Amino acid sequence: MTAKRVTVLGSTGSVGANTLSVIAEHPDRFRVVALAAGRNAAALVQQAQSFRPDFAAIADPAGYPTLKEGLAGTGIEVAAGPDAVAEAARRDAGWVMAAIAGAAGLESTLAAVERGAVVALANKESLVCAGELMMAAARASGSMILPVDSEHNAIFQVFDDRCREAVRRLILTASGGPFRCASRDRMAAVRPAEALRHPNWDMGAKITIDSATMMNKGLELIEAHHLFAMPGEAIDILVHPQSIVHSMVEYADGSVLAQLGTPDMRTPIAVALAWPERLAVTGERLDLSVVGRLDFEPPDPERFPALALARKALERGGREPAALSAANEVAVAAFLSERIGFLQIADIAGNTVAELGSGPLAGLDDVRSADREAREVAERFVERAAAAGPR
């Protein structure tokens, strides 16, 4: 069997490292062509030494000397800067993992889609801010986008494309995060270290905070709309604290199909890596007799206003999802650096989109300008909130 040629964008992150760990279990089946990271040049050097790609790219030019020195004499080509990351996406790999966090992943994800690669998509923000463009690019190039987000990967596994007109509803499950049962007063006083302790999943910082505010589920609603061509009204969100049922599809005959598994990203990554086949991966297996019970409850819109913001952004469309996602990135970073409180994340995201209003989104330039303007406005709200002092 010829090895599948794969590239990992965001290789030093949580999804990136999990992808490489699955690949490492099957060295004969995969050949790593390129790796790309943001700032962690030392980790990228280690990964490149182990996986021997043709090309290693670091976005932050400050990491270039470490990368160059660390890989000297290996024959691995190295480069730095955002163009180098996009170049990694263009290298000749039939399969690309898009696992850069935030809007920073947009250009490289789109570059892989435009050249017709199979794209395993973890970088949900790129689909949130440029969903129509991304899906149109995939149709034009023949690129297959395979969802890696566990919920969308679950839906992908149980969505019967042969009778898509019989699909009534997608049901996205949500763990509810660490503050599922917390009062608003309690949430107002939350510090970053607490918000970073997710009850079920071990993930990067930004998505962990997004899970705590439930903005993550809001972004996933928009992601699901684009991936499965379903209207927002046909996508429900259901809190499921055990994170065992990863999502569900309801059909016209009343059947509800679900995908279950332990909360381990290596499973959806393996599904995407091997598709349309299946790959064996090590890990804890699901034992429902140990889990014992599966609980479900509706989300609380009062304590988690991010959900309504995302739903509204999806309804209004145009530039609004891009603006919401960018404002949220700014607010999450401000919360992590303790400039604003936890509840102010959604406030700032909401105030930013309210100030900017919506507007048409015709191309990538509009996405970029919506992103830039939202970051400027959100930063002003952050400054005001930080100046007002502790809440």
Ligand X SMILES: NC(=O)c1ccc[n+]([C@@H]2O[C@H](COP(=O)([O-])OP(=O)(O)OC[C@H]3O[C@@H](n4cnc5c(N)ncnc54)[C@H](OP(=O)(O)O)[C@@H]3O)[C@@H](O)[C@H]2O)c1
Residues that bind ligand X (CB under 6 A): 10-16, 36-40, 59, 85, 99-101, 104, 122-125, 149, 201, 203-207, 265
Q: What is the Rg, in whole angstroms, of the alpha carbon atoms belonging to the chain?
A: 20
> Of 156 and 385, which has the nearer Cβ to ligand X?
156
- CA angle, corner 313, sides to 383 and 124, nearest 5? 85
> Of 201 and 251, which has the nearer Cβ to ligand X?
201
> Of 5 and 124, which has the nearer Cβ to ligand X?
124
Query: Please, what is the minimum distance in Å from the beta carbon of residue 18 to ligand X?
Result: 7
- Position with the least CB separation from ligand X: 13
Which sign, positive or negative, has the C-alpha torsion 207, 212, 217, 219?
negative
Helix, strand, or coil here: 337? coil
Query: Please, what is the minimum distance in Å from the beta carbon of residue 97 to ligand X?
Result: 9
> Of 207 and 212, which has the nearer Cβ to ligand X?
207
Locate 279 and state its tokens.
């790959």
Query: Please, what is the minimum distance in Å from the beta carbon of residue 153 to ligand X?
Result: 9
Task: State how far the Cα of 312 lies from the Cα of 293, in Å rounded to an integer.
Answer: 34
Task: State how far the Cα of 367 lies from the Cα of 359, in Å rounded to an integer.
Answer: 11
Query: Please, what is the minimum distance in Å from the beta carbon of residue 390 to ligand X?
Result: 27
> Of 143 and 153, which has the nearer Cβ to ligand X?
153
Residues 6+ positions from 275 with CB-CB distance below 8 Å? 118, 146
Burial call 29-67: b when 16+ CB within 10 Å, e when fewer = bbbbbbbbbbebbebbbebbeebebbbbbbbeeebbebb
> Of 147 and 299, which has the nearer Cβ to ligand X?
147
Query: Please, what is the minimum distance in Å from the beta carbon of residue 129 to ligand X?
Result: 11
> Of 146 and 385, which has the nearer Cβ to ligand X?
146
Query: Please, what is the minimum distance in Å from the beta carbon of residue 126 to ligand X?
Result: 8
Query: Please, what is the minimum distance in Å from the beta carbon of residue 170 to ligand X?
Result: 17
Task: State how far the Cα of 122 lies from the Cα of 243, in Å rounded to an integer.
Answer: 18
Residues 48/56, Cβ–Cβ less than 8 Å: yes
Decide the pairing of beta strands 55-58 and 145-147: unpaired
